[in-house]
Chain A
Amino acid sequence: MAFNSLDYALFFIFVLVASWSLVRWASYRLFFLLAASVFSYMCSRKLYILLVLIPTVVDYLTALGIAASDDPRRRKLLLGISIALNLGLLGLFKYYDFFITNVATGLQSIGLVPANASLPVLNLALPVGISFYTFQTMAYVIDVYRGTWGPIKSFLNFSLVITFFPHFVAGPIVLAKELSPQFERPAELTWDRVSDGLFLIIKGLLKKTLADWLGSNFVDNVYKDPSQFTATEILLSTYAYSMQIYGDFSGYTDMALGSAKLLGYELPENFRRPYLAQSVAHFWRRWHMTLSRWVREYVYFPLGGTRKGQLRAYGNIMLTLVIMGLWHGANWTFFWYGVIHGAMVCVNRWSNQRRKAAGLEEEVEHTGLALLWRVFLTFQFVSLARILFRAENLAHAERVASRLVSGDFALVKISWTIYAVMAGAYLIHWLPPRLVDSTRVTFRHVPAFGKGVALAAACGIAAMVKGSNPVPFIYFAF
């Protein structure tokens, strides 16, 4: 259920009223929130709820088993069962067809498989949010195995941690240790939470509306038929897409955080003005921060991080970024997206190592023009790399990129409205955070009627821009 839909508005109003009515009965309230979360998920594809419930039950039991056992072999076996189940389902629904098609193509090219052989592809619809909840539940079992957290005794608590509707289908990727304690405490609604939650929802809705506008008025047109656009227009479309995907995903996250706040819970931040990053490594500390955290803690560090020699460190960086790329989808575009990001992070690291070897500081605090230059370069790289992210396949990406170097620099198909919207969006993005904070604090003093009008105005703007058919969030596809 998309946060920018009437379905969600009605659902959320009902959930708010009912859940706060049940606040004195904590278990009933949690049960109600679980039922609401399951209903919310079933609005996308009903039967796929089983793909959530099965790993939830198995992971709950395996985590209890791991915690209860002192036998290392048994603990490893249980961990293995959990990881195999989670990665198996993820692999089956998300990567199997991609894998089998590419293997078959490889075998066909060397003549081991006839060219006209029919492939055992499954064509399964991708369960919404499978990459998010799979990572969440795996993280929980690994934490229990490591002894850093849990286990959660209450199945109700654990299943709600996994399925809690504000973060269920598109993150943030919440760790059980962040949410479970909140479910164990009585829910509390403070003045600040109410106000900040509403502020986030309004902010998120406006960001999403802006993203949809940029998408439908510019970016989608370019990617539908890049041959109709000049090099300059293609370049501007990459900047527009950078803002579109930021508005879309961070808008979703804002609404998720705001919804959770209004229910009395806190979710982790996912963005910190990513287009102010000074390097690609820095960018990943500001963009989809909970995914970066997950991959760092559950892939990069277990691989050895930088502790096993220089060569291994570079290899680990590449592998980690490729996994992050492929996390987005089974497509060579995402593989190469990960590869080029990995390569740039390696270049950053190599540069820092050289500074260190020369006796200079590894990380320099840049200011002034040097800072601007680094932000500019990083932004160019991130935006251009998004051609791979947005394209449907490598051939499509190549078509877009080839127009980019076509040498045709005219600007004929971009209206002044597009320039104005893009300029306004980036200006707001680059404003000092204290300005946004002061607006948030001021909003706390607005009476309920004023807040209701502000929320209605945001809904009205969204409706006038995109109508009654909400545009799905981009990250729902991952």
Chain B
Amino acid sequence: MLLSLASALPAPLKHLYGVGATLVVLGLLTYALPDDWGKNVTALKPWVEGDAPLYAGFRGIDTRQADKDTGLSEELLAEAGAHPAEAEDADLVAPPPVVAKAPPKAPTAAPKRPAAAPAPRPDAPPTPPVAVKPTDDAPAVALDPAEWKGISGELEDPSGKALDTFFRALHRTARREPGAITRISHWGASVIAADGFTSVARRKLQALFGSGGKGWVNVAPGSKWYRQRDVVYKPRGWKDRMVTFDSLKSGRYGFGGVAAIGAPGAVSSYQAHATRLELYYLAQPKGGEVELAVEDGPTQVVSTALPDGAAQDAWATLVAPALDPQKPNTFTVKALGKGPVHLYGVTLETDGPGVVYDCLGLIGTRADRLLHFDETHIAAQVAHRKPDLIVLDFGGNETGDENMNLRLYEESYKDVIRRMRKGRPEASCLVLTPVDHAENDRGKLVTKPILRRMLPVMRRLAKDEGCAVFDVWKAMGGEGSLRKWVTNDFAYADSHLTAGGDRVLGAMLYKAIVKGYSDWRSKASR
């Protein structure tokens, strides 16, 4: 009967129905394809469970609302638009305001002044940690619970001791002890390469505790994406070698992971609110000369040559005459000639007290790439830099390897932690989990399965190595959170954050640190 009906149809209509029938049959055939043939095959299926319901609009189902709801607190959402647009592009902003002081007798047990701690000197040898017990006879920075209101995740420290060194240092800074600088050194991959959320956390911490300066900046950028905030940084003429690519047999990449090889004329300038520049470099036989200069101030020529013997790391400091809060100092580092120079980076600091937050972004880097550092070299670098908190923020690039051997990953990450802490074993350590990384599944961004498997491993290895954890993935919303962040313009689909996302994540980290410090202070004063 169907055949007789079909034969009665006009020929063009039969032709059209033939096209339609082919389309429908091919569409149905896609359901015979096994799902394990890959996502592209699954995408061909016209509809599968989990897709938006058919005719959702007619049925009054809003399919996008769920993606708009990030689950973040109002305080964090407000951070996304907290700063005027013009500020987000600025490399250099005005120094943070004067730190608030607590009343002499705070309702909670105010800490006593500890035994006098010497002001740290940049060229001083590593010193053992000073036991500081919070006491209640000295004013300290007021900790208003509003600072961590709306917190989305706390620092996890099962041992309760992993962050002691950091909090002790922060406490000295909070008490405004002369020269008390708290240093945070944050190594990470592309998520921090433009000093995005790290600069937000830095500015917030410095606004509360005072500024110790910009911190570390490479001499050579290492990649086109390298950017630093709170400094106007202009490099020119350097060849760079990144630890990521293992391109130096010596493994001497410097504290920031990027060595700068310079011929005469290569120069980097740094404009920052800092009174002191310290150059990290390699002293080597037949090494050339480097000129350190500060605008309206002294000039110093540093010879990187060694008369003989093996190359070794060295440091040189240039002090600016004064720091005008309204006029940042401009420092330059210039290769003069007489031989090649092999430089690492500079630190830009004030006399404190305050917080310094080093952003050590290495594009495209996995954690195990830090094993390309020569062990003795990086230990010496870290020992000299004396970070109070070492932050390791890797894992995003690892999610590209769906079949990664997690056991090897765990072992290599532990090796990385040991290597980075070797120069300063007493430094606190914090492991950050990566931001949500997602893959496109039928038009929706869903969390990569490998990321879910990596998270418990990261927690375990951090615990084994005595590190605390800040679970960024969980704080931003966990499963499927990237989709929501993309919907709200906080992130791109490739997991990199927008300026708004940086502000939210920076505020998350800041709140977690301040809350952790407050808890530590309360606990220590009991």
Which residues of B are found within 8 Å of A459, using beta-carbon distances? 23, 27
Q: Are B47 and A452 in contact (CB under 8 A)?
A: no
Q: Are B43 and A463 in contact (CB under 8 A)?
A: yes
Instruction: Given A43-B58, A464-B43, A469-B442, decide whether A452 and B26 contact each other with a Cβ distance below 8 A.
Output: yes
Number of A-B contacts (CB under 8 A): 121
Is the CB of A371 closer than 8 A to any CB of chain B? no
Q: Are A469 and B89 in contact (CB under 8 A)?
A: no
Of the residues A45, A451, A460, contact of B44 by C-beta under 8 Å: A460
Q: Are A227 and B89 in contact (CB under 8 A)?
A: yes
Is the CB of B16 closer than 8 A to any CB of chain A? yes
Q: Which of A80-88, A189-197, A322-330 contacts B (4 or more CB under 8 A)?
A: A189-197
Q: Mark interface residues in A333-373 (1 if CB within 8 Å of B CB, else 0).
A: 00000000000000000000000000000000000000000
Q: Are B498 and A468 in contact (CB under 8 A)?
A: no
Closest CB of chain A to B172's CB: distance in Å? 36
Is the CB of B493 closer than 8 A to any CB of chain A? yes
- A180 to B52 alpha-carbon distance, docked (Å): 37
Q: Are B441 and A467 in contact (CB under 8 A)?
A: yes
Which residues of A are found within 8 Å of B63, using beta-carbon distances? 469
Q: Are A7 and B499 in contact (CB under 8 A)?
A: no
Is the CB of A448 closer than 8 A to any CB of chain B? yes
Instruction: Given A464-B40, A469-B444, decide whether A6 and B20 contact each other with a Cβ distance below 8 A.
Output: no
Which of B18, B40, B63 lies at the interface centre, i.e. has the most chain A CB atoms within 10 A of its CB?
B18
Instruction: Given A225-B499, A468-B47, decide whether A262 and B16 contact each other with a Cβ distance below 8 A.
Output: yes
Chain A residue nearest to B48 (CB atoms) is A468
Is the CB of B66 closer than 8 A to any CB of chain A? no
Is the CB of B121 closer than 8 A to any CB of chain A? no
Q: Are B27 and A456 in contact (CB under 8 A)?
A: yes
Which residues of A are found within 8 Å of B47, using beta-carbon distances? 6, 468
Q: Mark interface residues in B54-91 (1 if CB within 8 Å of A CB, else 0).
A: 11011010010000000000000000000001001100
The SS class assigned to the A binding surface is helix
Which residues of B are found within 8 Å of A469, using beta-carbon distances? 51-52, 63, 442-444
Is the CB of B46 closer than 8 A to any CB of chain A? yes
Q: Mark interface residues in B209-236 (1 if CB within 8 Å of A CB, else 0).
A: 0000000000000001100000000000
Instruction: Given A456-B27, A460-B44, decide whether A224 and B498 contact each other with a Cβ distance below 8 A.
Output: yes
Which residues of B are found within 8 Å of A45, using beta-carbon distances? 57
Of the residues B12, B20, B48, B51, contact of A191 by C-beta under 8 Å: B12
- A220 to B22 alpha-carbon distance, docked (Å): 36
Which residues of B are found within 8 Å of A466, using beta-carbon distances? 443
Is the CB of B201 closer than 8 A to any CB of chain A? no
Chain B residue nearest to A128 (CB atoms) is B57
Q: Are A448 and B58 in contact (CB under 8 A)?
A: no
Q: Are A468 and B44 in contact (CB under 8 A)?
A: no
Instruction: Given A189-B13, A456-B22, decide whether A468 and B443 contact each other with a Cβ distance below 8 A.
Output: yes
Instruction: Given A13-B24, A467-B441, decide whether A455 and B43 contact each other with a Cβ distance below 8 A.
Output: no
- A66 to B81 alpha-carbon distance, docked (Å): 54
Closest CB of chain B to A212's CB: distance in Å? 10
Q: Are A463 and B44 in contact (CB under 8 A)?
A: yes
Q: Are B55 and A467 in contact (CB under 8 A)?
A: no
Is the CB of A221 closer than 8 A to any CB of chain B? yes
Is the CB of B117 closer than 8 A to any CB of chain A? no
- Which residues of B from 449 to 500 have beta carbons under 8 Å from A? 489, 492-493, 498-500
Q: Are B26 and A395 in contact (CB under 8 A)?
A: no
Which residues of A are found within 8 Å of B225, using beta-carbon distances? 412
Is the CB of B10 closer than 8 A to any CB of chain A? yes
Of the residues B16, B26, B57, B498, contact of A225 by C-beta under 8 Å: B498
- A227 to B225 alpha-carbon distance, docked (Å): 12
Which residues of B are found within 8 Å of A193, using beta-carbon distances? 12
Of the residues A221, A447, A463, contact of B492 by C-beta under 8 Å: A221
Q: Are B224 and A410 in contact (CB under 8 A)?
A: yes
- A198 to B16 alpha-carbon distance, docked (Å): 9
Closest CB of chain B to A271's CB: distance in Å? 25
- A246 to B120 alpha-carbon distance, docked (Å): 62
Q: Are A189 and B10 in contact (CB under 8 A)?
A: yes
Closest CB of chain A to B61's CB: distance in Å? 11
Closest CB of chain A to B229's CB: distance in Å? 11
Q: Are B88 and A227 in contact (CB under 8 A)?
A: yes
Chain B residue nearest to A6 (CB atoms) is B46
Of the residues A194, A216, A449, contact of B22 by C-beta under 8 Å: A449
Is the CB of A110 closer than 8 A to any CB of chain B? no
Instruction: Given A466-B443, A468-B443, A469-B52, decide whether A224 and B489 contact each other with a Cβ distance below 8 A.
Output: yes
Chain A residue nearest to B500 (CB atoms) is A225
Of the residues B13, B88, B194, contact of A20 by C-beta under 8 Å: B13
Is the CB of A124 closer than 8 A to any CB of chain B? no
Q: Are A194 and B16 in contact (CB under 8 A)?
A: yes
Is the CB of B119 closer than 8 A to any CB of chain A? no
Which residues of B are found within 8 Å of A312, using beta-carbon distances? none
Q: Are B22 and A228 in contact (CB under 8 A)?
A: no
- A193 to B14 alpha-carbon distance, docked (Å): 13
Q: Are B58 and A189 in contact (CB under 8 A)?
A: no
Closest CB of chain A to B435's CB: distance in Å? 15
Closest CB of chain B to A476's CB: distance in Å? 12
Offer 23 A-B interface pairs, CB within 8 angstroms, sorted by A: A6-B54, A7-B54, A45-B57, A46-B58, A189-B10, A191-B12, A194-B19, A198-B16, A224-B489, A225-B489, A227-B499, A412-B225, A452-B19, A452-B22, A455-B19, A466-B443, A467-B442, A468-B47, A468-B48, A468-B51, A469-B63, A469-B443, A469-B444
Interchain residue pairs A-B with the least CB separation, the first 3: A467-B443, A452-B22, A448-B18
User: B residues within 8 Å of A by Cβ?
Assistant: 10-24, 26-27, 40, 43-44, 46-48, 51-52, 54-55, 57-58, 60, 63, 85, 88-89, 194, 224-225, 440-444, 489, 492-493, 498-500
Given A16-B16, A225-B498, 6 additional A-B pairs, CB 8 A: A6-B54, A194-B12, A224-B498, A225-B499, A412-B224, A469-B442
User: A residues within 8 Å of B by Cβ?
Assistant: 1, 6-7, 9-10, 13, 16-17, 20, 39, 42-46, 189-191, 193-194, 198, 216, 221, 224-225, 227-228, 262, 395, 399, 410, 412, 447-449, 451-453, 455-456, 459-460, 463-464, 466-470
